[in-house]
Structure 1
Amino acid sequence: MTTLSPLTDLPDVAGALESARARVDKALWNRTLRKHGATVATEVSLVDAVASAALEGASYDIEEVRGGAVTDPVVQGALRVAAALPELVTVWEKAPRQALARLHLLAARGLATGDELGRPVRGGERFSMLCDLALTDRESPAILLAAVVEAELLSLRVFDTGNGLVARAAAKLTLAVRGLDPRGLIAVDAGHAAREPEYLGSSNAFATGTSDGVRSWLRHYAAAVEEGCEVMETVCARVIG
Protein backbone atom coordinates (compact mmCIF):
# COMPACT_ATOMS: atom_id res chain seq x y z
CA MET A 1 0.00 0.00 0.00
CA THR A 2 1.24 3.49 -0.88
CA THR A 3 0.42 6.88 0.59
CA LEU A 4 -2.08 7.47 -2.22
CA SER A 5 -3.73 4.03 -2.12
CA PRO A 6 -6.79 5.20 -0.14
CA LEU A 7 -7.67 7.60 -2.96
CA THR A 8 -8.45 4.70 -5.26
CA ASP A 9 -11.17 3.63 -2.85
CA LEU A 10 -13.15 6.81 -3.53
CA PRO A 11 -16.26 6.11 -5.63
CA ASP A 12 -15.55 5.69 -9.35
CA VAL A 13 -11.91 6.75 -9.05
CA ALA A 14 -10.27 3.36 -9.63
CA GLY A 15 -12.43 2.77 -12.69
CA ALA A 16 -11.67 6.22 -14.10
CA LEU A 17 -7.94 5.70 -13.64
CA GLU A 18 -8.03 2.27 -15.26
CA SER A 19 -10.04 3.59 -18.19
CA ALA A 20 -7.59 6.46 -18.72
CA ARG A 21 -4.61 4.11 -18.54
CA ALA A 22 -6.15 1.80 -21.11
CA ARG A 23 -6.92 4.76 -23.36
CA VAL A 24 -3.28 5.91 -23.20
CA ASP A 25 -2.02 2.44 -24.03
CA LYS A 26 -4.30 2.32 -27.05
CA ALA A 27 -3.34 5.81 -28.23
CA LEU A 28 0.38 5.12 -28.04
CA TRP A 29 -0.04 2.18 -30.40
CA ASN A 30 -1.08 4.58 -33.17
CA ARG A 31 0.83 3.54 -36.29
CA THR A 32 1.64 7.12 -37.19
CA LEU A 33 3.97 7.31 -34.19
CA ARG A 34 6.30 4.70 -35.70
CA LYS A 35 7.51 7.04 -38.46
CA HIS A 36 6.32 10.43 -37.30
CA GLY A 37 6.57 10.27 -33.53
CA ALA A 38 8.94 13.24 -33.28
CA THR A 39 6.70 15.39 -35.46
CA VAL A 40 3.63 14.46 -33.42
CA ALA A 41 5.47 15.17 -30.15
CA THR A 42 6.47 18.62 -31.40
CA GLU A 43 2.93 19.48 -32.42
CA VAL A 44 1.44 18.15 -29.18
CA SER A 45 3.96 20.25 -27.27
CA LEU A 46 2.70 23.37 -29.06
CA VAL A 47 -0.96 22.42 -28.61
CA ASP A 48 -0.46 21.85 -24.90
CA ALA A 49 1.53 25.05 -24.42
CA VAL A 50 -1.24 27.10 -26.04
CA ALA A 51 -3.83 25.28 -23.92
CA SER A 52 -1.89 25.80 -20.70
CA ALA A 53 -1.52 29.51 -21.41
CA ALA A 54 -5.24 29.75 -22.15
CA LEU A 55 -6.00 28.25 -18.74
CA GLU A 56 -4.05 31.20 -17.31
CA GLY A 57 -6.26 33.64 -19.21
CA ALA A 58 -3.90 34.11 -22.17
CA SER A 59 -5.97 32.64 -24.99
CA TYR A 60 -4.66 32.93 -28.55
CA ASP A 61 -5.13 31.19 -31.88
CA ILE A 62 -2.59 28.42 -32.24
CA GLU A 63 -1.60 29.53 -35.75
CA GLU A 64 -0.76 33.00 -34.45
CA VAL A 65 1.40 31.44 -31.78
CA ARG A 66 3.03 29.11 -34.31
CA GLY A 67 3.82 32.07 -36.54
CA GLY A 68 5.54 33.98 -33.75
CA ALA A 69 3.00 36.79 -33.70
CA VAL A 70 2.12 36.41 -29.99
CA THR A 71 4.44 38.12 -27.52
CA ASP A 72 2.25 37.73 -24.43
CA PRO A 73 4.67 36.76 -21.61
CA VAL A 74 2.33 34.03 -20.37
CA VAL A 75 2.32 32.37 -23.79
CA GLN A 76 6.06 32.77 -24.14
CA GLY A 77 6.50 31.23 -20.70
CA ALA A 78 4.30 28.29 -21.65
CA LEU A 79 6.35 27.74 -24.81
CA ARG A 80 9.63 27.82 -22.90
CA VAL A 81 8.29 25.34 -20.35
CA ALA A 82 7.06 22.99 -23.08
CA ALA A 83 10.40 23.09 -24.89
CA ALA A 84 12.31 22.27 -21.69
CA LEU A 85 10.23 19.29 -20.56
CA PRO A 86 12.28 16.56 -22.30
CA GLU A 87 15.50 17.66 -20.62
CA LEU A 88 13.80 18.06 -17.24
CA VAL A 89 12.51 14.50 -17.00
CA THR A 90 15.71 13.21 -15.39
CA VAL A 91 15.89 16.26 -13.11
CA TRP A 92 12.32 15.68 -11.90
CA GLU A 93 13.11 12.03 -11.24
CA LYS A 94 16.08 12.89 -9.00
CA ALA A 95 15.44 16.40 -7.68
CA PRO A 96 11.82 17.64 -7.90
CA ARG A 97 12.58 20.92 -6.12
CA GLN A 98 15.29 21.75 -8.63
CA ALA A 99 12.98 20.90 -11.52
CA LEU A 100 10.22 23.13 -10.11
CA ALA A 101 12.65 26.01 -9.67
CA ARG A 102 13.74 25.63 -13.28
CA LEU A 103 10.15 25.45 -14.50
CA HIS A 104 9.32 28.66 -12.66
CA LEU A 105 12.34 30.44 -14.12
CA LEU A 106 11.03 29.54 -17.55
CA ALA A 107 7.34 30.17 -16.89
CA ALA A 108 7.58 33.49 -15.05
CA ARG A 109 10.28 35.31 -16.97
CA GLY A 110 8.83 38.71 -17.83
CA LEU A 111 6.14 38.29 -15.16
CA ALA A 112 8.19 38.14 -11.96
CA THR A 113 11.26 40.00 -10.72
CA GLY A 114 14.67 38.37 -10.71
CA ASP A 115 14.57 37.75 -6.98
CA GLU A 116 11.25 35.90 -7.28
CA LEU A 117 12.18 33.61 -10.14
CA GLY A 118 12.61 30.00 -9.14
CA ARG A 119 11.88 30.61 -5.46
CA PRO A 120 8.82 29.07 -3.77
CA VAL A 121 7.00 31.65 -1.68
CA ARG A 122 4.67 29.32 0.21
CA GLY A 123 3.86 25.68 0.80
CA GLY A 124 5.95 24.84 3.84
CA GLU A 125 5.82 21.27 5.12
CA ARG A 126 3.09 20.24 2.70
CA PHE A 127 5.25 21.33 -0.23
CA SER A 128 8.18 19.35 1.18
CA MET A 129 5.96 16.30 1.54
CA LEU A 130 4.80 16.65 -2.07
CA CYS A 131 8.38 16.80 -3.33
CA ASP A 132 9.23 13.72 -1.26
CA LEU A 133 6.20 11.93 -2.68
CA ALA A 134 7.22 12.76 -6.26
CA LEU A 135 10.72 11.51 -5.52
CA THR A 136 9.89 8.27 -3.76
CA ASP A 137 6.49 7.02 -4.95
CA ARG A 138 7.08 4.42 -7.65
CA GLU A 139 4.07 2.27 -6.87
CA SER A 140 0.98 4.46 -7.24
CA PRO A 141 -0.67 4.54 -10.68
CA ALA A 142 1.10 7.16 -12.78
CA ILE A 143 -2.10 9.03 -13.57
CA LEU A 144 -3.05 9.19 -9.90
CA LEU A 145 0.35 10.53 -8.86
CA ALA A 146 0.39 13.10 -11.68
CA ALA A 147 -3.09 14.26 -10.72
CA VAL A 148 -2.09 14.73 -7.09
CA VAL A 149 1.12 16.56 -8.02
CA GLU A 150 -0.76 19.02 -10.22
CA ALA A 151 -3.63 19.61 -7.81
CA GLU A 152 -1.33 20.08 -4.80
CA LEU A 153 0.79 22.64 -6.63
CA LEU A 154 -2.33 24.45 -7.81
CA SER A 155 -3.85 24.56 -4.34
CA LEU A 156 -0.65 25.48 -2.51
CA ARG A 157 0.12 28.28 -4.98
CA VAL A 158 3.81 27.74 -4.37
CA PHE A 159 4.63 30.57 -6.79
CA ASP A 160 2.83 33.90 -7.14
CA THR A 161 3.27 34.00 -10.93
CA GLY A 162 3.26 31.18 -13.45
CA ASN A 163 2.09 28.69 -10.83
CA GLY A 164 -0.48 27.03 -13.09
CA LEU A 165 2.05 26.56 -15.89
CA VAL A 166 4.46 24.98 -13.42
CA ALA A 167 1.82 22.70 -11.90
CA ARG A 168 0.67 21.32 -15.24
CA ALA A 169 4.26 20.82 -16.40
CA ALA A 170 5.13 18.95 -13.21
CA ALA A 171 2.22 16.59 -13.82
CA LYS A 172 3.44 15.91 -17.35
CA LEU A 173 6.93 15.22 -16.02
CA THR A 174 5.42 12.73 -13.60
CA LEU A 175 3.71 10.86 -16.43
CA ALA A 176 7.03 10.77 -18.29
CA VAL A 177 9.14 9.62 -15.33
CA ARG A 178 6.66 6.87 -14.50
CA GLY A 179 6.87 5.62 -18.09
CA LEU A 180 3.25 6.18 -19.00
CA ASP A 181 3.99 8.92 -21.53
CA PRO A 182 7.78 9.19 -21.83
CA ARG A 183 7.71 11.20 -25.06
CA GLY A 184 5.04 13.68 -23.99
CA LEU A 185 2.56 12.59 -26.65
CA ILE A 186 -0.63 12.86 -24.63
CA ALA A 187 -2.07 16.38 -24.74
CA VAL A 188 -3.34 16.46 -21.17
CA ASP A 189 -3.38 20.24 -20.95
CA ALA A 190 -5.52 20.42 -24.06
CA GLY A 191 -7.79 17.95 -22.28
CA HIS A 192 -7.98 20.31 -19.30
CA ALA A 193 -8.72 23.27 -21.57
CA ALA A 194 -11.48 21.39 -23.38
CA ARG A 195 -13.15 20.93 -20.00
CA GLU A 196 -12.11 24.27 -18.51
CA PRO A 197 -15.10 24.90 -16.22
CA GLU A 198 -14.72 21.39 -14.82
CA TYR A 199 -10.96 21.89 -14.49
CA LEU A 200 -11.37 25.06 -12.47
CA GLY A 201 -14.20 23.68 -10.37
CA SER A 202 -12.59 20.38 -9.56
CA SER A 203 -9.17 21.85 -8.78
CA ASN A 204 -10.83 24.26 -6.37
CA ALA A 205 -12.80 21.36 -4.92
CA PHE A 206 -9.58 19.40 -4.36
CA ALA A 207 -8.18 22.31 -2.39
CA THR A 208 -10.97 21.94 0.16
CA GLY A 209 -9.51 18.58 1.17
CA THR A 210 -12.90 16.85 1.28
CA SER A 211 -13.37 13.35 -0.09
CA ASP A 212 -15.88 14.65 -2.64
CA GLY A 213 -13.51 17.40 -3.70
CA VAL A 214 -10.59 15.03 -4.18
CA ARG A 215 -12.81 12.56 -6.02
CA SER A 216 -14.04 15.31 -8.34
CA TRP A 217 -10.51 16.30 -9.28
CA LEU A 218 -9.25 12.76 -9.84
CA ARG A 219 -12.17 11.94 -12.09
CA HIS A 220 -11.58 15.16 -14.01
CA TYR A 221 -7.88 14.41 -14.44
CA ALA A 222 -8.60 10.94 -15.79
CA ALA A 223 -11.12 12.43 -18.23
CA ALA A 224 -8.56 15.05 -19.31
CA VAL A 225 -6.05 12.30 -20.04
CA GLU A 226 -8.58 10.53 -22.23
CA GLU A 227 -9.38 13.82 -23.97
CA GLY A 228 -5.64 14.34 -24.46
CA CYS A 229 -5.44 11.00 -26.24
CA GLU A 230 -8.15 12.16 -28.63
CA VAL A 231 -6.17 15.33 -29.34
CA MET A 232 -3.01 13.33 -30.01
CA GLU A 233 -4.85 11.09 -32.45
CA THR A 234 -6.19 14.15 -34.24
CA VAL A 235 -2.63 15.43 -34.56
CA CYS A 236 -1.57 12.04 -35.95
CA ALA A 237 -4.32 12.23 -38.57
CA ARG A 238 -3.18 15.71 -39.63
CA VAL A 239 0.44 14.60 -39.90
CA ILE A 240 -0.34 11.81 -42.34
CA GLY A 241 -3.16 13.69 -44.04
Structure 2
Amino acid sequence: MTIPVRPGAARSAVRTAAPDPLAALLDLPGVRDAAGAARAGIDRLLGHRVLRRESAGVSAESALRGARASAALDGVDVPLAELRAGEVTNPVVQGSLRTSVALGSMVETWTRAPGQVLARLHVLAAADLADRADLGRPAPHAGARLSGLFSVVTGTTAVPAVLVAALVHGELAALAPFGTADGVIARAAARLTGIARGLDPKAVSVPEVGFAELGREAYDRALAGYAGGTPEGVAGWLVHCCRATEHGALEGLAICESLLRG
Protein backbone atom coordinates (compact mmCIF):
# COMPACT_ATOMS: atom_id res chain seq x y z
CA MET A 1 0.00 0.00 0.00
CA THR A 2 1.41 3.38 -0.92
CA ILE A 3 0.87 6.54 1.03
CA PRO A 4 -2.24 8.07 -0.54
CA VAL A 5 -0.81 11.52 -1.11
CA ARG A 6 0.71 13.56 -3.88
CA PRO A 7 2.37 11.52 -6.64
CA GLY A 8 5.93 12.73 -6.93
CA ALA A 9 6.05 13.90 -3.32
CA ALA A 10 5.63 11.70 -0.24
CA ARG A 11 4.38 8.80 -2.36
CA SER A 12 7.62 8.65 -4.31
CA ALA A 13 9.63 9.04 -1.13
CA VAL A 14 7.92 6.47 1.07
CA ARG A 15 6.39 3.11 0.14
CA THR A 16 5.47 0.60 2.78
CA ALA A 17 2.94 -2.08 3.56
CA ALA A 18 -0.13 -1.96 5.74
CA PRO A 19 -1.06 -1.51 8.52
CA ASP A 20 0.68 1.86 8.84
CA PRO A 21 1.52 3.41 5.46
CA LEU A 22 3.10 6.48 7.04
CA ALA A 23 5.51 4.67 9.35
CA ALA A 24 8.52 4.94 7.05
CA LEU A 25 8.39 8.73 7.26
CA LEU A 26 10.24 8.37 10.55
CA ASP A 27 13.15 6.76 8.74
CA LEU A 28 13.74 9.76 6.48
CA PRO A 29 16.88 11.76 7.38
CA GLY A 30 16.45 13.89 10.49
CA VAL A 31 12.70 13.41 10.73
CA ARG A 32 12.47 11.28 13.87
CA ASP A 33 14.62 13.63 15.95
CA ALA A 34 12.85 16.73 14.61
CA ALA A 35 9.45 15.27 15.43
CA GLY A 36 10.60 14.46 18.95
CA ALA A 37 11.90 17.98 19.48
CA ALA A 38 8.62 19.44 18.25
CA ARG A 39 6.66 17.24 20.64
CA ALA A 40 8.91 18.26 23.53
CA GLY A 41 8.42 21.94 22.71
CA ILE A 42 4.64 21.59 22.68
CA ASP A 43 4.72 19.62 25.93
CA ARG A 44 6.64 22.43 27.63
CA LEU A 45 3.96 24.86 26.50
CA LEU A 46 1.09 22.64 27.61
CA GLY A 47 2.66 22.40 31.05
CA HIS A 48 2.59 26.17 31.63
CA ARG A 49 0.62 27.04 34.74
CA VAL A 50 -1.36 29.80 33.02
CA LEU A 51 -3.17 27.18 30.95
CA ARG A 52 -4.86 25.82 34.06
CA ARG A 53 -7.05 28.92 34.15
CA GLU A 54 -6.44 30.94 30.97
CA SER A 55 -6.28 28.42 28.13
CA ALA A 56 -9.18 30.09 26.31
CA GLY A 57 -7.43 33.45 26.41
CA VAL A 58 -4.16 31.95 25.17
CA SER A 59 -6.01 30.16 22.37
CA ALA A 60 -7.75 33.36 21.29
CA GLU A 61 -4.46 35.25 21.17
CA SER A 62 -2.87 32.35 19.33
CA ALA A 63 -5.60 32.53 16.69
CA LEU A 64 -4.99 36.25 16.20
CA ARG A 65 -1.22 35.93 15.92
CA GLY A 66 -1.57 32.88 13.71
CA ALA A 67 -3.89 34.74 11.33
CA ARG A 68 -1.44 37.62 11.03
CA ALA A 69 1.52 35.31 10.38
CA SER A 70 -0.38 33.21 7.84
CA ALA A 71 -1.30 36.32 5.87
CA ALA A 72 2.32 37.47 6.05
CA LEU A 73 3.44 34.19 4.49
CA ASP A 74 1.10 35.04 1.62
CA GLY A 75 2.75 38.43 1.23
CA VAL A 76 0.55 40.71 3.36
CA ASP A 77 2.32 41.66 6.58
CA VAL A 78 0.42 43.98 8.92
CA PRO A 79 1.17 45.17 12.46
CA LEU A 80 -0.40 43.02 15.15
CA ALA A 81 -1.65 46.10 16.99
CA GLU A 82 -3.60 47.24 13.93
CA LEU A 83 -5.13 43.82 13.49
CA ARG A 84 -6.05 43.70 17.17
CA ALA A 85 -7.69 47.10 16.87
CA GLY A 86 -9.76 46.06 13.86
CA GLU A 87 -8.05 48.55 11.57
CA VAL A 88 -7.02 46.14 8.80
CA THR A 89 -9.35 45.64 5.83
CA ASN A 90 -7.02 43.80 3.47
CA PRO A 91 -8.97 40.80 2.08
CA VAL A 92 -6.10 38.33 2.54
CA VAL A 93 -5.74 39.30 6.19
CA GLN A 94 -9.47 39.30 6.79
CA GLY A 95 -9.80 35.87 5.21
CA SER A 96 -6.96 34.54 7.31
CA LEU A 97 -8.57 35.96 10.44
CA ARG A 98 -11.99 34.50 9.68
CA THR A 99 -10.41 31.12 9.05
CA SER A 100 -8.31 31.15 12.19
CA VAL A 101 -11.18 32.15 14.46
CA ALA A 102 -13.47 29.44 13.07
CA LEU A 103 -11.10 26.47 13.47
CA GLY A 104 -12.35 25.45 16.91
CA SER A 105 -15.79 24.63 15.54
CA MET A 106 -14.33 22.38 12.83
CA VAL A 107 -12.11 20.01 14.80
CA GLU A 108 -14.54 17.12 15.19
CA THR A 109 -15.81 17.35 11.62
CA TRP A 110 -12.31 17.49 10.15
CA THR A 111 -11.48 13.87 10.93
CA ARG A 112 -14.87 12.63 9.67
CA ALA A 113 -15.63 14.86 6.68
CA PRO A 114 -12.47 16.71 5.63
CA GLY A 115 -13.92 17.66 2.24
CA GLN A 116 -16.75 19.51 3.92
CA VAL A 117 -14.34 21.36 6.19
CA LEU A 118 -11.98 22.21 3.35
CA ALA A 119 -14.84 23.75 1.39
CA ARG A 120 -15.81 25.81 4.43
CA LEU A 121 -12.23 26.97 4.90
CA HIS A 122 -12.18 28.24 1.33
CA VAL A 123 -15.46 30.11 1.81
CA LEU A 124 -13.97 31.84 4.84
CA ALA A 125 -10.50 32.50 3.46
CA ALA A 126 -11.46 33.61 -0.05
CA ALA A 127 -14.80 35.33 0.45
CA ASP A 128 -13.39 38.65 -0.79
CA LEU A 129 -10.91 37.15 -3.26
CA ALA A 130 -12.88 34.74 -5.47
CA ASP A 131 -16.19 34.73 -7.31
CA ARG A 132 -19.01 33.55 -5.10
CA ALA A 133 -19.79 30.69 -7.48
CA ASP A 134 -16.25 29.36 -7.05
CA LEU A 135 -16.18 29.40 -3.27
CA GLY A 136 -15.76 25.98 -1.71
CA ARG A 137 -15.30 24.27 -5.07
CA PRO A 138 -11.92 22.60 -5.72
CA ALA A 139 -10.64 22.73 -9.27
CA PRO A 140 -11.02 19.54 -11.37
CA HIS A 141 -7.29 18.85 -11.26
CA ALA A 142 -7.45 18.34 -7.49
CA GLY A 143 -10.01 15.53 -7.31
CA ALA A 144 -7.95 12.34 -7.13
CA ARG A 145 -5.20 13.81 -5.00
CA LEU A 146 -7.66 15.32 -2.55
CA SER A 147 -9.31 11.94 -2.15
CA GLY A 148 -5.94 10.45 -1.29
CA LEU A 149 -5.23 13.21 1.20
CA PHE A 150 -8.61 12.76 2.85
CA SER A 151 -7.76 9.11 3.49
CA VAL A 152 -4.72 10.33 5.44
CA VAL A 153 -6.84 12.77 7.45
CA THR A 154 -9.45 10.18 8.36
CA GLY A 155 -7.06 7.24 8.76
CA THR A 156 -5.12 5.99 11.75
CA THR A 157 -1.36 5.99 12.15
CA ALA A 158 1.23 5.73 14.88
CA VAL A 159 3.30 8.45 13.21
CA PRO A 160 3.53 11.63 15.33
CA ALA A 161 0.77 14.14 14.71
CA VAL A 162 3.27 16.84 13.76
CA LEU A 163 4.23 14.78 10.72
CA VAL A 164 0.64 14.12 9.68
CA ALA A 165 -0.01 17.86 9.95
CA ALA A 166 3.06 18.52 7.81
CA LEU A 167 1.79 16.13 5.13
CA VAL A 168 -1.61 17.84 5.09
CA HIS A 169 0.07 21.23 4.89
CA GLY A 170 2.46 20.22 2.13
CA GLU A 171 -0.18 18.48 0.04
CA LEU A 172 -2.63 21.36 0.09
CA ALA A 173 0.00 24.03 -0.44
CA ALA A 174 1.57 22.13 -3.35
CA LEU A 175 -1.73 21.14 -4.92
CA ALA A 176 -3.43 24.57 -4.57
CA PRO A 177 -6.87 23.00 -5.06
CA PHE A 178 -8.84 26.25 -5.15
CA GLY A 179 -6.52 28.72 -6.83
CA THR A 180 -7.17 31.40 -4.19
CA ALA A 181 -6.12 31.52 -0.53
CA ASP A 182 -4.59 28.04 -0.79
CA GLY A 183 -1.69 28.88 1.52
CA VAL A 184 -3.97 30.15 4.26
CA ILE A 185 -6.14 27.06 3.85
CA ALA A 186 -3.16 24.69 3.96
CA ARG A 187 -1.86 26.20 7.17
CA ALA A 188 -5.33 26.16 8.75
CA ALA A 189 -5.81 22.51 7.82
CA ALA A 190 -2.42 21.65 9.28
CA ARG A 191 -3.34 23.35 12.53
CA LEU A 192 -6.66 21.49 12.58
CA THR A 193 -4.78 18.23 12.14
CA GLY A 194 -2.49 19.01 15.06
CA ILE A 195 -5.43 19.87 17.30
CA ALA A 196 -7.52 16.87 16.30
CA ARG A 197 -4.65 14.39 16.68
CA GLY A 198 -3.61 15.62 20.11
CA LEU A 199 -0.44 17.52 19.27
CA ASP A 200 -1.88 20.77 20.62
CA PRO A 201 -5.42 19.99 21.77
CA LYS A 202 -5.84 23.40 23.44
CA ALA A 203 -4.76 25.28 20.28
CA VAL A 204 -2.33 27.44 22.22
CA SER A 205 0.78 27.19 20.06
CA VAL A 206 1.22 29.37 16.97
CA PRO A 207 2.84 27.29 14.21
CA GLU A 208 2.16 30.00 11.63
CA VAL A 209 4.45 32.34 13.56
CA GLY A 210 7.03 29.58 13.56
CA PHE A 211 6.99 29.43 9.77
CA ALA A 212 7.14 33.22 9.53
CA GLU A 213 10.11 33.39 11.91
CA LEU A 214 12.01 30.80 9.88
CA GLY A 215 11.45 33.04 6.86
CA ARG A 216 9.28 33.09 3.79
CA GLU A 217 12.17 32.10 1.52
CA ALA A 218 12.94 29.06 3.66
CA TYR A 219 9.25 28.15 3.65
CA ASP A 220 9.01 28.37 -0.14
CA ARG A 221 12.24 26.44 -0.58
CA ALA A 222 11.16 23.63 1.75
CA LEU A 223 7.76 23.40 0.08
CA ALA A 224 9.39 23.23 -3.35
CA GLY A 225 11.54 20.38 -2.08
CA TYR A 226 8.46 18.51 -0.92
CA ALA A 227 6.70 19.06 -4.24
CA GLY A 228 9.78 17.78 -6.05
CA GLY A 229 9.17 14.38 -4.54
CA THR A 230 12.67 13.20 -3.64
CA PRO A 231 13.22 11.57 -0.24
CA GLU A 232 15.53 14.46 0.65
CA GLY A 233 12.91 17.01 -0.37
CA VAL A 234 10.15 15.35 1.61
CA ALA A 235 12.44 14.98 4.63
CA GLY A 236 13.46 18.63 4.38
CA TRP A 237 9.84 19.74 4.42
CA LEU A 238 8.93 17.54 7.38
CA VAL A 239 11.91 18.77 9.36
CA HIS A 240 11.08 22.38 8.47
CA CYS A 241 7.51 21.89 9.74
CA CYS A 242 8.80 20.38 12.97
CA ARG A 243 11.12 23.32 13.53
CA ALA A 244 8.28 25.75 12.85
CA THR A 245 6.23 23.86 15.42
CA GLU A 246 8.99 24.33 17.98
CA HIS A 247 9.07 28.07 17.25
CA GLY A 248 5.29 28.15 17.44
CA ALA A 249 5.43 26.58 20.90
CA LEU A 250 7.79 29.34 22.03
CA GLU A 251 5.31 31.92 20.76
CA GLY A 252 2.63 30.20 22.81
CA LEU A 253 4.89 30.41 25.87
CA ALA A 254 5.36 34.12 25.22
CA ILE A 255 1.57 34.55 25.22
CA CYS A 256 1.32 32.66 28.50
CA GLU A 257 3.99 34.83 30.09
CA SER A 258 2.31 38.02 28.92
CA LEU A 259 -0.97 36.90 30.54
CA LEU A 260 0.91 35.96 33.70
CA ARG A 261 2.33 39.46 33.90
CA GLY A 262 -1.11 40.92 33.31
> So what's the TM-score if we normalise by structure 1?
0.97
1:210 alignment counterpart: 230
Please state whether the residue corresponding to 2:93 is helix, strand or coil.
helix
Alignment pair present for 1:150 and 2:169: yes
How far does the alpha carbon of each residue in 1:182-214 deviate from its partner, in whole angstroms, 9 at most, with x for none? 121110000011112211110111000111110
CA distance in 1, matches of 2:164, 2:56: 26
Alignment pair present for 1:238 and 2:243: no
Give the CA deviation at 1:91. 1.1
How far does the alpha carbon of each residue in 1:12-66 deviate from its partner, in whole angstroms, 9 at most, with x for none? 1111101111211121000111121111111111000000010111110000011
1:134 alignment counterpart: 153
Q: Percent identity?
A: 42
1:13 alignment counterpart: 31
Preserved contact between residue 95 and residue 127 of structure 2 (Cα < 8 Å)? yes
What aligned pairs does 1:2-81 form with structure 2 within 5 A after superposition? Answer: 2-81=20-99
The one of 183, 201, 219 aligned to 2:221? 201
1:163 alignment counterpart: 182
Please state whether the residue corresponding to 1:60 is helix, strand or coil.
coil
Please state whether the residue corresponding to 2:153 is helix, strand or coil.
helix
Aligned CA-pair RMSD: 1.0
AA in 1 matched with 2:187: R
How far does the alpha carbon of each residue in 1:136-157 deviate from its partner, in whole angstroms, 9 at most, with x for none? 1343210110000000001111
Please list every run of at least 4 consecutive aligned residues from structure 1 whose deviation after the TM superposition is greater than 3 angstroms.
Answer: none
AA in 1 matched with 2:101: A
CA distance in 1, matches of 2:132, 2:158: 38
AA in 2 matched with 1:231: E
Give the CA deviation at 1:132. 1.2
CA distance in 2, matches of 1:124, 1:209: 19
2:193 alignment counterpart: 174
**Alignment: residue pair count:** 241
The one of 126, 143, 150 aligned to 1:124? 143
Gaps of 5+ in 1: none
Preserved contact between residue 58 and residue 256 of structure 2 (Cα < 8 Å)? yes
CA distance in 1, matches of 2:39, 2:47: 13
CA distance in 1, matches of 2:219, 2:156: 25
Give the CA deviation at 1:90. 1.0
Please state whether the residue corresponding to 1:123 is helix, strand or coil.
helix
Farther-moved stretch of structure 1 (105-114 vs 2-11): 2-11
Give the CA deviation at 1:84. 0.6
